[in-house]
């Protein structure tokens, strides 16, 4: 369709030159989707824009342009309102555009001019802690972005930056030893509830017993120096958590696997080098015993420069040092063009400062784009951050259980129930502007009407069931003659541009809105165009429109990480 839009623009440009001379050669008619259905398919406000420079009434300009233009059978043009040109594609063009979808497994999405290697850093839960709704958002958004970027032709490297290192492991290992749990094989079999209980016992002892706190600190040193017993128990804790995270990923149906883990621990050996290199390049300053960098342009509320702490006063390396080492690895070893961090928007200052320091240190060339895709908080029904009644963070498992329970009320069969529950949760998460907080309202997001994941799955299942009643060897799109057929055909041509837009903006809500619009056009089509009862070429065209819509719905939902069952 893109080539037709370009051709039509060129025809309008020619008409401008014919009517008003070379001065206006090359002016962009700015063809935009029509704001209202009655206006046709596209609109141009060219006459209004030319009125000033030409000193003529816009309607007169419009009439002369329409008279002069030769749209070459692509479309019909009409003067409207104060001086708009309304454009309606010819039915043949629309039919041919739908026909093109059948010859292209990528549904019109073309590979980009420059194929980028993109790291998507997402999910990133912390070992021996529960995955919470924030990690859910990162997992769902990152999964969709990874799928869209891949589909759009980029090379995606998924990285799950697991929180598997830090001082808390001193305390955890010390607690294990104190309780006589010395066998790594047994520890690696702990489930999430047991890991959390261990964490709580360790934390309580650490806070109450100064002797324990001291040995926990010594244990951190043992871990950092690679003492075998400590290291084996740490690894067992990591393994136990990874098994639990993997189970959640499987349940959610996301792409992440064990191969994508890229935990903080792997950067531990590089951390002293980070500090040394920052010192050599003159960026490092000492502040209250800590080693810090003051990147340009960051000040706190009091106007004082903000430090990025690279090494704490107690000698430990922080989260920021690890992120700096991670950037070096991604640039030097992975040769990335772009890094996308899908992390809660409360960490935006952390990332801005890390990026600034990495650029200043020369580790992050200008040619590599780094973006923090921050997202808002999931709120409970009371409009406050989602908590259980007793005030604890809602666990991911509890949340998915509730979504499955809601789906089970309307659907049968464990696979469909799971697919619907995931669709409800994911669509609700992806259909807002990412930065916005949203209320986790299960009844609303699980409804089969309105803008929800289950509604789109239902639209797909409904069209699949029509198609199942009229199996075809091949689909033949004729000329869509009914306005509802044309409307649906037009919507179908919007898939490729919206995928490109999401790959560019990293905003999945454009795709959710597009799919909802497509499902709405499908409903309008059903209302006025019987499919199975139609005959001859009309029936062939309608079946082809159904199948093209089914493919686009299925592919589009797939890019959101949502399954599209044929029966529900």
Contact set with ligand ARG (CB under 6 A): 121, 124, 126, 161, 163, 323, 326, 341, 343
Name which of 130 and 431 has its Cβ closer to ligand ARG.
Answer: 130
Give residues with Cβ within 8 angstroms of 104, minimum separation 6: none
Classify the C-alpha dihedral 518-523-526-527 as positive or negative.
negative
Name which of 343 and 461 has its Cβ closer to ligand ARG.
Answer: 343
- String of DSSP letters for 322-337: HHHHHHHHHHHTS--S
Name which of 76 and 347 has its Cβ closer to ligand ARG.
Answer: 347
- CA angle centred on 566, ends 246 and 404, rounded to 5°: 45
Name which of 81 and 318 has its Cβ closer to ligand ARG.
Answer: 318
Alpha helices, DSSP H only, in 191-270? Answer: 192-208, 210-224, 228-252
Nearest-approach distance from CB 250 to ligand ARG, in angstroms: 20
Name which of 11 and 161 has its Cβ closer to ligand ARG.
Answer: 161
Give residues with Cβ within 8 angstroms of 285, minimum separation 6: 291, 292, 293, 294, 307
Q: Which residue bears the tokens 């006063």?
A: 313
Q: Which residue, among 131, 128, 124, has the nearest Cα to 196 in the 3D structure?
A: 128
Task: DSSP letter for 346, please.
Answer: G
Nearest-approach distance from CB 135 to ligand ARG, in angstroms: 6
Nearest-approach distance from CB 341 to ligand ARG, in angstroms: 6
Nearest-approach distance from CB 357 to ligand ARG, in angstroms: 14
| Beta-sheet pairing, 290-293 with 308-311 | antiparallel
Name which of 156 and 499 has its Cβ closer to ligand ARG.
Answer: 156
Nearest-approach distance from CB 68 to ligand ARG, in angstroms: 58
Nearest-approach distance from CB 343 to ligand ARG, in angstroms: 4
Nearest-approach distance from CB 353 to ligand ARG, in angstroms: 12
Name which of 41 and 330 has its Cβ closer to ligand ARG.
Answer: 330
State how far the Cα of 85 lies from the Cα of 75, in Å rounded to an integer: 12
State how far the Cα of 290 lies from the Cα of 296, in Å rounded to an integer: 19
Question: What tokens appear for 170 in the block?
Answer: 């001193």
Longest dimension (CA), the chain: 91
Q: For residues 287 and 278, is the Cβ–Cβ distance under 8 A?
A: no
């Amino acid at each position: 369709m893109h080539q037709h839009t370009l051709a039509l623009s060129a025809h309008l440009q020619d008409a401008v030159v014919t009517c008003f001379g070379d001065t206006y050669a090359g002016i962009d008619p700015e063809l935009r989707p029509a704001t209202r259905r009655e206006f046709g398919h596209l609109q141009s406000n060219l006459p209004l824009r030319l009125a000033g420079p030409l000193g003529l009434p816009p309607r007169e300009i419009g009439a002369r342009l329409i008279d002069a233009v030769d749209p070459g059978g692509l479309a019909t043009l009409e003067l409207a309102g104060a001086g708009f040109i309304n454009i309606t594609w010819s039915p043949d063009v629309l039919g041919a555009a739908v026909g093109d979808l059948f010859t292209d497994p990528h549904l019109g999405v073309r590979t980009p001019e420059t194929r980028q290697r993109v790291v998507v850093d997402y999910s990133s839960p912390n070992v021996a802690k529960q995955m919470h709704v924030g990690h859910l958002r990162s997992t769902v958004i990152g999964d969709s972005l990874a799928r869209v970027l891949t589909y759009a032709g980029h090379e995606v490297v998924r990285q799950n930056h697991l929180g598997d290192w830090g001082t808390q492991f001193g305390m955890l290992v010390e607690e294990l030893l104190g309780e006589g749990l010395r066998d790594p094989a047994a520890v690696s079999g702990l489930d999430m509830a047991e890991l959390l209980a261990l964490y709580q016992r360790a934390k309580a002892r650490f806070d109450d017993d100064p002797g324990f706190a001291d040995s926990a600190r010594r244990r951190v040193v043992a871990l950092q120096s690679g003492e075998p017993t400590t290291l084996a128990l740490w690894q067992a804790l990591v393994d136990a958590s990874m098994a639990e995270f993997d189970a959640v990923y499987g349940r959610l149906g996301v792409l992440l696997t064990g191969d994508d883990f890229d935990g903080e621990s792997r950067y531990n050996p590089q951390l002293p080098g980070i500090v040394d290199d920052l010192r050599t390049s003159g960026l490092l300053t000492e502040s209250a015993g800590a080693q810090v960098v003051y990147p340009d342009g960051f000040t706190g509320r009091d106007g004082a420069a903000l430090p990025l702490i690279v090494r704490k006063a107690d000698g430990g390396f922080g989260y920021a040092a690890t992120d700096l080492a991670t950037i070096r690895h991604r640039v030097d070893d992975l040769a990335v063009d772009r890094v996308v961090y899908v992390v809660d928007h409360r960490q935006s200052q952390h990332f801005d400062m890390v990026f600034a320091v990495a650029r200043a240190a020369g580790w992050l060339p200008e040619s590599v784009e780094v973006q923090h895709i921050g997202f808002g908080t999931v709120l409970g029904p009371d409009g406050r951050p989602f908590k259980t009644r007793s005030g604890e963070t809602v666990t991911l498992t509890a949340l998915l259980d509730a979504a499955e329970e809601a789906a089970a009320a309307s659907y049968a069969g464990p696979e469909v129930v799971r697919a619907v529950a995931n669709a409800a949760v994911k669509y609700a998460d992806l259909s807002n502007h990412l930065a916005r907080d949203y209320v986790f309202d299960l009844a609303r997001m699980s409804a089969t009407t309105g803008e929800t994941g289950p509604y789109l799955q239902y639209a797909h299942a409904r069209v699949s069931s029509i198609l199942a009643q009229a199996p075809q060897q091949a689909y033949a799109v004729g000329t869509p003659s009914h306005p509802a057929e044309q409307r649906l055909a037009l919507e179908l041509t919007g898939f490729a541009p919206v995928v490109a837009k999401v790959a560019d903006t990293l905003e999945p809500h454009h795709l959710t809105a597009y799919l909802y619009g497509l499902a709405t056009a499908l409903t309008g089509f059903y209302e006025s165009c019987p499919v199975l009862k139609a005959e001859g070429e009309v029936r062939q065209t309608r079946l082809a429109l159904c199948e093209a819509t089914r493919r686009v719905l299925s592919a589009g939902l797939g890019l959101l990480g949502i399954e599209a069952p044929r029966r529900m």
